[in-house]
Amino acid sequence: MTTNPGQGADFQKKDNIVNDDSVIKYDESYKYNANVLGSHYKQILEGTSANRIKDMEKVANGLNRNMFIQAEGFPFHSGNLPQKYKKEIVELSKKEGNFINKYITLLKEYCCDKDVVAICATKYHTNEKLNDWIRFQSEIIGMSLENAKHYPLKYSEGGGGSVSCIIDTSNKKMKVISLVTGSNILPAKRLLDVLKDIRL
């Protein structure tokens, strides 16, 4: 699970979809468009976004999964939304009746019985000092922070874990939050080194 879809591209804009100027077809099913987009993203993505998808595949393959599904913790495209409006998103997700609440509720239901890895661009401190966004993500994926364990994957010069993860397996499912200071990358190799030793 990633934070949100980022800046957005022309083919994702509603006007282009409605006017048949996009690979997304307005009159087709969600399933049809999802399959088209899966192939399209692999062709057009580059840089960090492309590497993140490749690393998701590495984690899935390394855990002997035959597929993975990427979901967004928040559904709207925006380049600055996560930084500026995290607190408002968390609050809106708790108020019944609005679109954000409905989306988060469905996502929670979908994730509850699945192994999930969430990607978060922040640094781990302690459970007592975890920020609202990490707590928000943990609730979405069905992670119990009380039962979760912290695993440093790489140390910064100051001695803190600049790359780490939190793992909870208390419900016989693997719930993971990958934490990388200031970046939404997925440290696939380091993460797999830890996850392969986890027994459900």
> What is the pLDDT of the chain when averaged over all its residues?
85
- Mean pLDDT, rounded, for 156-180: 81
Annotate 21-42 with DSSP letters as a single string: -SSS-TTS-HHHHHHHHHHHHH
Count CA atoms within 13 Å of residue 37 on its CB side: 16
From residue 118, alpha-carbon distances to 1, 75, 152, 161, 194 in Å are 4, 15, 16, 17, 15
What does the alpha-carbon distance between residue 4 and residue 55 come to, in Å, rounded to a whole number? 17
How many residues are there in the chain?
Answer: 200
CB neighbours of residue 95 within 10 Å: 9
Per the CB < 8 A criterion, the answer to whether 120 and 179 are in contact is yes
Instruction: Please list the helix, strand and coil fractions of the chain in percent, rounded to the nearest 5, in that order.
Output: 45, 15, 45
Examine residue 107 and state whether it is found in any structural domain, yes or no: yes
96 inside domain: yes
Is 162 a member of any domain? yes
Residue 106 lies in a domain: yes
Region 97-109: what's the mean pLDDT?
A: 91
pLDDT 10s digits, 32-67: 998 999 889 888 888 888 888 899 999 999 999 988
Residue 90 has pLDDT above 50, yes or no: yes
The answer to whether position 48 is within a domain reads no
Domain that holds residue 116: 72-195
pLDDT tens for 70-85 read 888 887 776 666 566 7
| Inside any domain, residue 59 | no
Residue 11 within any structural domain of the chain: no
155 — phi, psi (to 5°)?
-105, 140
Which of 102, 103, 100, 145 has its CA nearest to residue 120? 145
Residue 53 CA to residue 186 CA, distance in Å, equals: 9
The verdict on residue 122 lying in a domain is: yes
User: In the chain, how many domains are there?
Assistant: 1
